[in-house]
Chain A
């Protein structure tokens, strides 16, 4: 793309002059909505985890895994294909997988909160939890390497929830 498009390089790599022009940065300053006090009757954990995965893919995630945490909660991890490394490509274009991942996490979190269960997203230990959910393994540089995308992937924030799910792995 970069050879035909003279502006592509700066779209991918140039960090924005005002960080609020980066949607991922702007979105994280907004407090998400509350939990529905009326719980909806949910299906068995097996079926609900299938639904949650299918829904996350519908909202834009490429691979989804569920990990059970020591706290008794479950973590939903979404992995998206990334043409450019989201850690080094700090431009609006380079952060696009992060934007799409945040969209999937926000809407999936809304779904779970509207069902009447807690759902908060957290940035910590994303790669390790993704590996624990069986999506790939962590390399020496701390990046997730998956079978499908290699290291060219972005791990979105982990959605921590108390919705009963069937976990793919244990952290």
Chain B
């Protein structure tokens, strides 16, 4: 990895002021961490054309043939129609000069959690900030493609952490049933909408913290690291934060860095670390082989975790953009991604209360159960809003029962096989014979 030499870095051996952060069992900071600049993250790289012309076109000037995808994502006809863009153009208020006194940070933490949930978040996580979790400088904006404002040398990550000791994340979970139609416009809609909702909640909370008289900074912290520190979940093999109630189907989008006095949560233990060591369901179903099969975690940039190959993951998008945008297979097949009901709570609680030594046995039986009941890949047919995940993409089909409208020739599904599976059965491309499983 080549990074610019002037990037700030966090070295646990040198920076005695900040001991290594506690991020739970799934991620450990074990060596020097070079802070990543937002410019080096996937979306800006694609936007600048560093990932090739195809991805450049995808990031810049693709218009989706599907109206719902045009509404929810940046592949729209007019960028002004994207809600995150509308929100970004809205004026931001100033910090209230009269500060609200906070004698009890625990009460304020409870309040912020109530506020976050009232505004629409499904989980509110509060963590302690740490230089290793921060970007090197600049601000990553909500659309994900824009990086603004190179912060001056005085605003190093360590400096920011001293001034703003807390991070807040407010993820929104996307719909379980709709996400069963991943690799389809239906799954895309569920995913894209939660992005807009999360950004709305984050912005409203940011404005509210300003109203309380404190600073709230956006686009400064890696949201996944903030979610780990804030006890939202654990990092899985698929590179996604796996939460207690929703599994991997949450949209983090961003985190708030603030000086509002709060009481941070502790990282949680859901047994994700033990499960991912055995399961590999996401790695087996990934259409691009971007997820590691290795039993052990990798050390990347001083952080021990499961590392996904985001380049190959991203390169799938322009190839399929006519039919769908976000693959989401790794999230959907994850055994933790299930409806939030009692048997799910029972399974997670069982795993959590098992001693670490006995966990592999429990994990194997839970994995077996998951394969038997839910199948190796999601194959549920979803009908929503006139879309039907059982209809092959590109096939023009009117799926409305009793439709009497006059369409062009081929309007109705005459020769579409209406078998009870979606078209997203395992892709041939995934059969990589050179990978030992």
Chain A interfacial positions (CB closer than 8 Å to B): 1, 4-8, 10-11, 16-23, 26-27, 29-38, 40-41, 43-44, 47, 51, 54-55, 58-60, 92-93, 96, 99-100, 103, 106-107, 110-111, 113-115
Q: Which residue of chain B lies nearest to A15 when distances are taken between CB atoms in the complex?
A: B211
**A1:B211 contact, CB within 8 angstroms:** no
- Cβ-based interface call for B93 (8 A): yes
Other-chain residue from A5, A38, A115 in contact with B110 (beta carbon distance below 8 A)? A5
**B83:A55 contact, CB within 8 angstroms:** no
**A20:B93 contact, CB within 8 angstroms:** yes
Residue contacts A-B, CB under 8 angstroms, 16 given: A1-B114, A6-B107, A7-B107, A16-B93, A18-B96, A21-B93, A23-B207, A34-B78, A43-B405, A92-B204, A93-B115, A96-B120, A103-B197, A106-B86, A113-B78, A115-B67
Minimum distance in angstroms from B87 CB to a CB of chain A: 7
Which chain A residues border B384 with CB–CB below 8 Å?
54
**B405:A47 contact, CB within 8 angstroms:** yes
Q: A11-B115, A26-B91, A26-B92 are in contact. List 14 more A-B contacts (CB 8 A).
A: A5-B111, A5-B114, A16-B207, A21-B96, A23-B207, A27-B86, A29-B90, A32-B80, A33-B79, A33-B80, A43-B405, A60-B120, A110-B83, A114-B81
**B386:A114 contact, CB within 8 angstroms:** no
Which chain A residues border B92 with CB–CB below 8 Å?
20-21, 26
- Scoring B residues 205 to 234 as 1 if CB is less than 8 Å from chain A, else 0, what string do you get? 001101100000000000000000000000
- Scoring B residues 96 to 139 as 1 if CB is less than 8 Å from chain A, else 0, what string do you get? 11101000000110110011001110000000000000000000
**A58:B193 contact, CB within 8 angstroms:** yes
**B200:A21 contact, CB within 8 angstroms:** no
**A40:B90 contact, CB within 8 angstroms:** no
Interface size on B, residues (CB 8 A): 55
**A43:B400 contact, CB within 8 angstroms:** yes
Which chain B residues border A99 with CB–CB below 8 Å?
119, 200, 204
Q: Which residue of chain A lies nearest to B114 when distances are taken between CB atoms in the complex?
A: A5
- Cβ-based interface call for B36 (8 A): no
Give residues 386-403 of B contacting A (CB, 8 Å): 386, 398, 400, 403
A103, B93: Cα distance in complex, Å: 19
- Cβ-based interface call for B70 (8 A): yes
A99, B199: Cα distance in complex, Å: 13
Q: Which residue of chain A lies nearest to B203 when distances are taken between CB atoms in the complex?
A: A23
Q: Which residue of chain A lies nearest to B104 when distances are taken between CB atoms in the complex?
A: A6
**A7:B111 contact, CB within 8 angstroms:** yes
Asked if A55 meets B91 with Cβ closer than 8 Å, knowing A5-B111, A44-B403, A110-B71, the reply is no
Which chain A residues border B108 with CB–CB below 8 Å?
7
Which chain B residues border A107 with CB–CB below 8 Å?
71-72, 83, 193, 196
Asked if A30 meets B70 with Cβ closer than 8 Å, knowing A7-B111, A96-B118, A114-B81, the reply is no
**A16:B211 contact, CB within 8 angstroms:** yes
Q: Which residue of chain A lies nearest to B112 when distances are taken between CB atoms in the complex?
A: A7
A5, B114: Cα distance in complex, Å: 9
- Scoring B residues 150 to 168 as 1 if CB is less than 8 Å from chain A, else 0, what string do you get? 0000000000000000000
**A103:B200 contact, CB within 8 angstroms:** yes
Minimum distance in angstroms from A90 CB to a CB of chain B: 12
Q: Which residue of chain A lies nearest to B78 when distances are taken between CB atoms in the complex?
A: A33
Q: Which residue of chain B lies nearest to A92 when distances are taken between CB atoms in the complex?
A: B208
A58, B72: Cα distance in complex, Å: 12
Asked if A111 meets B93 with Cβ closer than 8 Å, knowing A5-B114, A7-B108, A23-B203, the reply is no
